[in-house]
Homo-oligomer: A and B are copies of this chain.
Amino acid sequence: MSGQEQEFDVVVLGAGSTGENVADVVVRGGLSAALVEAELVGGECSYWACMPSKALLRGTEVLTAARAVDGARQAVTGEQDVAATLARRDSFTHGWDDSSQAEWVDGAGIALLRGTGRLDGERTVVVTGTGGTTTRLTARHAVAVCTGSEAAVPPIEGLPGIDPWTPRDATSAKEAPGRLLVVGGGYVGCEMATAWQALGARVTLVQRGDRLLEEMEPEAGDAVAAALRDRGVDVRLRTDVLAARRDGGEVVLQCTGGELRGDEVLVAVGRQARTADAGLGTVGLTPGEYLDVDDSLQVRGLPWLYGVGDVNGRRQLTHMGKYQARQAGAAIVARARGEQVSTADWSPTAATADRRATPSVVFTEPQVASVGLTRARAAKAGVPHRVVVYPIGSVAGASLHADGYTGTAVAVVDAEREVLLGVTFVGPGVAELLHAATVAVVGEVPIARLWHAVPAYPTMSEIWLRLLETYRG
């Protein structure tokens, strides 16, 4: 069926938060933009990831905080209301209805095309709508692929046949399963184990490696494993899943070390690029692979093509996708104007923070907030560095925050330049402590100057003073 033809300055594939931001930036820069989406406008983060997962976790966080303060604890005599918690989660996903986001797109002057977009040669995208109608889009300046990522399915015998929960199912479930098996000890596995255990499930968390949250400082995974166990989660490290099957209503996982049975199984062992059905073959790229991009998010060898967000495999986090969108959008606008684009560190058209200062927060109890290099990554990169570790519970603000507060701060300092390379905070309520570290790392603020950045007493931020004192020795 031959369809319509339309021309735009920029065509964006995928209307998740990354695609929305690329389109918004280029439209603000005076270009026209089409945004193509087959599912919900707003994407993974709004409907199946950040927002619903944090909505599931917030109630547990505040009740844990209240129970940790003598005097307040006595007021918490009831139980968390699971139905109300799930209803609150649904309010954040707008019941999985994207009309408010579609309205925003329209108001921003972006053309929204519903359907599956596929590249069809240079600067061309064909959109197939639900009824089979096709629209051929030509991009004068650039095509940005922002199709994101999806849960990877590990090669475990029998797994595809038993319809396991993906992270999407875990964040959108309508009730707590009786027994939930979680395969994968990364941040999704840890957060969902925390959430569903608190909401009534008996959770078993299976992790192949030696510890949870393996990419982070070891203090993080150790603390989260201990806390999950305290809350009744059966945490099994160094455990492989060999096969999966259903036995009546039960899910059965055959693992090294024995058999596990549950009512549902969540598989959260990583992500893969959503590029299998994006027409990559028509421009000489390999379907299913991550897009290889430079710091302006331009695909190497194809100057009209950008890969922004999860799809390039650089940093798979909503805020980094939006950041890349701002940098890529600025690069697209500049190049459309015939301007030179710098990919030098910290240029307005380079996603330097992807390499130097990516923040992330794991909303477990305790929380894990980190930015920049861990000690392991600094060592691997061969950067001369010093590691400073301090127990957050020794800070007055933390002892006020919670009785018996336990937590750890780890700072990695460039030993030659005397600037911070990375910081990790592990402990209750540390999420908002992180941005100070991000500003310090990004701003390359010298340690000597940081001594003048006085933390207000008695906040938990006083950990900064202790880290500086410990570094000085």
Chain A contact residues, CB within 8 Å of chain B? 45, 50-51, 54-55, 58-60, 62-63, 65-66, 68-82, 84-88, 92, 317-320, 322-323, 326, 346, 348, 352-353, 357-361, 369, 396, 399-401, 403, 429, 431-436, 438-440, 442-443, 445, 448-462, 464
Min distance, Cβ A442 to any Cβ of chain B, angstroms = 4
Contact call A75/B72, Cβ cutoff below 8 A:
no
Contact call B438/A454, Cβ cutoff below 8 A:
yes
Instruction: Name the contact of A436 in the complex, choosing from B92, B323, B399, B435 (C-beta under 8 A).
Output: B435
Contact call B71/A88, Cβ cutoff below 8 A:
yes
| Bound-complex Cα distance A462 to B322 (A) | 12
- Chain B residues positioned under 8 Å from A319 (CB to CB): 454-457, 462
Instruction: Name the contact of A456 in the complex, choosing from B75, B87, B361, B453 (C-beta under 8 A).
Output: B361
Min distance, Cβ A189 to any Cβ of chain B, angstroms = 19
Closest CB pairs A-B (n = 6): A71-B85, A443-B445, A59-B72, A74-B81, A435-B436, A319-B457
Look across to chain B and name the residue whose beta carbon is closest to the beta carbon of A362.
B456
Contact call A449/B442, Cβ cutoff below 8 A:
yes
Min distance, Cβ A297 to any Cβ of chain B, angstroms = 14
Which of A369, A454, A455 gathers the greatest number of chain B CB atoms within 10 Å? A454
- Chain B residues positioned under 8 Å from A403 (CB to CB): 88
Contact call B453/A357, Cβ cutoff below 8 A:
yes
Contact call A66/B69, Cβ cutoff below 8 A:
no
Known: A431-B456, A435-B453. A55 touches B445 (CB 8 A): no
Known: A75-B78, A77-B78, A452-B352. A443 touches B439 (CB 8 A): yes
- Chain B residues positioned under 8 Å from A84 (CB to CB): 70-71, 73-74
| Bound-complex Cα distance A62 to B65 (A) | 6
| Bound-complex Cα distance A358 to B255 (A) | 57
- Chain B residues positioned under 8 Å from A72 (CB to CB): 58-60, 62-63, 80-81, 85
- Chain B residues positioned under 8 Å from A63 (CB to CB): 66, 72, 75
